[in-house]
Every structure is written in structure tokens, then in C-alpha cells.
Amino acid sequence: MAEPKMLDCLNKIRNVLKGTITREQVSDWAEIYVSADDPEIDDDQVWDMLILLSGIDLKDSPNSYLHPVEDLNDWLEEYK
């Protein structure tokens, strides 16, 4: 399993915003790394982003995500 780069993470967010991938798909992708016994992620910022992305699909109500679109845009700005 190749180590993800920040660009991979940012592109996942961009694709969620475009509607070409679901939040659940991104969460599942990030969770593979976050839940690995030895994730071997050398870049601390990538690790932090993977943790954020593993929770991108969390809901605070049945019809509302905990992290609204504004949060996703903020993540893009913060980590680009």
C-alpha cells in the first residue's frame, strides 16, 4: 500500500465538493491508513489530514454532516 500524499488527500476533498465521490468513500479510504497496525505515514500533516478524512462522513443529525462544506473548504485552504 503506497503512502498517500497531501495532494491525494486534497483531491479527495475536492472530489467530495464536486460530487464525484461520497464522503463515505473518502472515509473508508482514509480509515484503511488510520486503522492500520503500522501505518508508516512519515508526513505528520498527511497523518493529521487522514484522521480528519476518516471522520468526513460523521453526522450530527440524520440529515446533516458534522463537517459542513465550509469545513471542507477550510481544510483545503489550511493544508494546500
Tally of residues, the chain: 80
Question: Does 1 score more than 80 pLDDT?
Answer: no
- pLDDT tens for each residue of 17-46: 999 999 999 999 999 999 998 888 999 999
Structural domain of residue 74, as residue ranges?
6-79
Indicate the pLDDT class of residue 8, thresholds 50, 70 and 90: very high
Q: Residue 19: left (phi > 0), alpha (psi -120 to 50), or beta?
A: left
Residue 1 belongs to a domain: no
The confidence score (pLDDT) of residue 71 equals 96
Q: Domain count of the chain?
A: 1
Residue 26 belongs to a domain: yes
Please give the model's pTM, rounded to 2 decimal places: 0.92
The confidence score (pLDDT) of residue 2 equals 81
